[in-house]
A and B are shown apart, each in its own frame.
Chain A
Amino acid sequence: MAQSRQMSHILGATSESGRPTIARASYDGRMRFTPSPIALRLFCLSILALLLSGCGEPEAATPLLRWYVFDEPSGAFEQAAADCSAAAEGRYQITLVPLPSDADQQREQIVRRLAAGDAAIDLIGMDMIWTAELAAADWIRPWPAAAAMQARAGRLQSAVESATYAGQLWAVPFTTNTQLLWYRADRVDQAPATWSELIARSERPGATGTIQAQGARYEGLTVFFVSLLASAGGSVLSPDGRSVSLATEPTRRALAIMQTLARSPAADPALATSREDDARRAFEAGTATFMLNYTYVWPSARSNAPEIAEQMHWARWPAVDPDRPSRVTLGGINLGIGAHSRYPEQARAAALCLAGERQQRQAAIRGGLPPTIATLYDDPAIRATFPFAELLRATLRDAVQRPKTPLYADVSLAISHTLHPLHEIDPIADVARLRRAVARALRSQGLL
């Protein structure tokens, strides 16, 4: 009894003398808990100002359009916003709101805010894989017929297709992108035309890491798979996007190529964690002979490794069948209008200006982002930036869309989780596994 009394006395002291020590130490250097009267007053004032500004905004003379788009480092987007604001002559003013550089985090932020009915999102620089999701959830506005005509005019068919869902246009195509095969002209005379040729030719003894591709468990792996599957003549979903396709023959061929590549000495040992930038670095370091990557690697190599850029040549993404040209996955940004925007009219006008010829040329020359306006590929300034413009346009014409479903995020996770790591793929058994995983994702069921 006496002992337990003493125990409880000790415990009493614990929470009385122990706690303050903890509290003081853990808050040290972070914040103080005694606000000065001035700080308190300022805080109240700022809250008041916030409330008042919230009431006053709709009366502003010039509508302020917020353009949410990924943080483009060259400043081409900022320039575009300024130019279009000036050209609007007071009809609207565009401010740029940069999103995180990571594509998943861009989507998370945009989707969460749109679901909550955020009226401050006027213009969205949408990764084209969001089109179906945002459209089906009514988070973006469809383009009325007349405006849609304007938005489609002169633009690459595949880019327009990427902004279309359920027979309607949901965004204006702004920039596009796709992968090419980059190779070292000092090591190979002619680029291989097919995957089997590419792998066979790189498998010289002792030549590790000569082919650079994307094998980490992320969106890039899905892109790799979709390109191989389409080149083999298959598709992930049925044409209506509601059920799984993944025909046995093409799927098996795509999986077999992934497995062969991953087990080949020609693949990078770190293929399981390799993303686009890892491939670029390995190529710039001089170890790789072949690389599958987007066009941004060209300006990057020219400034980071000029002597390697000298020898850097390009070719079409390898085919699966010798007599069927490859179909490569399309990427790019389209401009959509937030469903809760207070100024949809002005936002559409602004989107057309931002995705106009002048701004696309800017984005191409300054930012290295390939345009969606077909004729720009004949422009001398663009040809100087992209010497591979002709090949790029041809690849884009045959490009394949990623699965068009509102559940794309789930489908992509299902694909990349099932196929990672590539060297453990079993081309025969994994066709069924992949089908099951994608079917479950389409029903938005189960954990991934």
Chain B
Amino acid sequence: MKGWRNPEHRLGWALCAPAVLAMLLVTAYPILYALWLSLFRYDLRFPDERQFIGLANYLTVLSSPAWWQTLFNTLVITISSVAVELVLGLVFALIMHRALIGRRLVRTTLLVPYGIITVVAAMSWRFAFDPTTGFVNALLGLEGAWLSERWSAFFVIIQTEIWKTTPFMALLLLAGLSLVPDDLLRAARVDGANAWQRFIRITLPLMRPMILVALLFRTLDAFRIFDTVFIQTRGAQGTETVSILGYNTLITRLNLGLGSAVSVLIFVCVIAIALLYLRGFGVTILHREDR
């Protein structure tokens, strides 16, 4: 309450107010509405049969093998794509940072995949891996339908994700790299540290906050994967993700209650991932001036 006496504090809130209002309108309202809907048995085709059933929808979802299967699939895609992206992204960031000639060209080239719409990228890779129209089989001298077997389909999906979003990771890490003071690196060199030691002992620790921010962003993004899977397999061959499950329930089956419960559970997972990063790895993006 003390804060309200401080005119600067009040001005701050007044200036924030429009943004806060807009956020409430466009994010808080739908989220709360989804929470509300998830407590009902509610099918869009039979609006009259709407009925309050408490947490029964959540019980249905959590006791269904389909939910755990899709959650597992989503985690497979998330963990493997983010892990590869981190390593590749770091390499690309270093290349972009250290490039001596054609720096702009290098940066632009590396960023091209990120500028391509996800649906287009997913389609292109689907055609590339197609046994009749694609080049991949011809190139590797293989025969076989990649998207008709579970693990090869996962491979295609994950590599599409990696191809598409590594530039984003690289960009965030590049920002982290530019934070490492040159003086520090030079001083370490004078003290006799070799390139590897300088990278492990100085560059990485100083980049740590930025790496964690990049990981957080990408994990949250990857967990909600929809378009690539939708285009490439539509969830067949056991590659269905939680977002596709929610889409099928909400949009195809028009089951607003059950679908909202799935969406809320996805939201809870996303929050859990965020908390894990914030608490578990100590990412400090908030309240940095307080200490």
Binding site for B on A (CB under 8 A): 4, 7-8, 10-15, 17-18, 21-22, 25-26, 28-30, 104, 108, 111-112, 115, 133, 136-137, 216-218, 270, 272-273, 281, 406-407, 409-410, 413, 420, 444-448
Complex contact B289–A14 (CB within 8 A): no
A112 and B171 in contact (CB under 8 A), knowing A10-B179, A10-B206? no
Complex contact B178–A17 (CB within 8 A): yes
Give the interface size bracket for B toward A.
Answer: 35 or more
- On chain A, the residues within 8 Å of B43 by CB distance are 444
- On chain B, the residues within 8 Å of A108 by CB distance are 251-252
B176 to nearest A CB, angstroms? 7
Highest count of chain B CB atoms <10 Å: which of A25, A29, A115 = A25
- On chain B, the residues within 8 Å of A111 by CB distance are 44, 254
- Tell me if B78 is interfacial: C-beta within 8 Å of chain A: no
- Tell me if B147 is interfacial: C-beta within 8 Å of chain A: yes
- Tell me if B5 is interfacial: C-beta within 8 Å of chain A: no
Chain B residue nearest in CB terms to A10 = B179
Complex contact A14–B66 (CB within 8 A): no
- Contact of A136 (CB < 8 Å), options: B46, B179, B249: B46
Chain B residue nearest in CB terms to A136 = B45
Distance, CA A30 to CA B114, complexed state (A): 11
A409 and B252 in contact (CB under 8 A), knowing A4-B291, A11-B209, A270-B148? yes
Q: Is the interface of A mostly helix, strand, loop or mixed?
A: helix
Instruction: Known A-B contacts: A14-B179, A133-B45, A447-B66. Give 4 more (CB < 8 A).
Output: A18-B176, A21-B171, A406-B46, A413-B252
A259 to nearest B CB, angstroms? 19
Distance, CA A137 to CA B172, complexed state (A): 49
Chain A residue nearest in CB terms to B262 = A447
Complex contact B253–A112 (CB within 8 A): no
In the A-B complex, the 6 residue pairs with the smallest Cβ-Cβ separation, listed nearest first, are: A18-B175, A273-B148, A447-B66, A137-B45, A447-B64, A8-B288
Complex contact A447–B61 (CB within 8 A): yes
Distance, CA A17 to CA B245, complexed state (A): 39
A410 and B253 in contact (CB under 8 A), knowing A14-B210, A217-B236? yes
Q: Give B32-46 interface residues, CB cut-off 8 Å to A.
A: 43-46
* 19 pairs, A vs B, C-beta closer than 8 Å: A7-B284, A8-B289, A11-B285, A14-B179, A15-B285, A17-B178, A17-B179, A18-B176, A28-B111, A111-B44, A133-B45, A273-B145, A409-B252, A410-B253, A413-B253, A444-B43, A445-B258, A446-B258, A448-B248
A14 and B176 in contact (CB under 8 A), knowing A25-B171, A137-B45? yes
- On chain A, the residues within 8 Å of B260 by CB distance are none
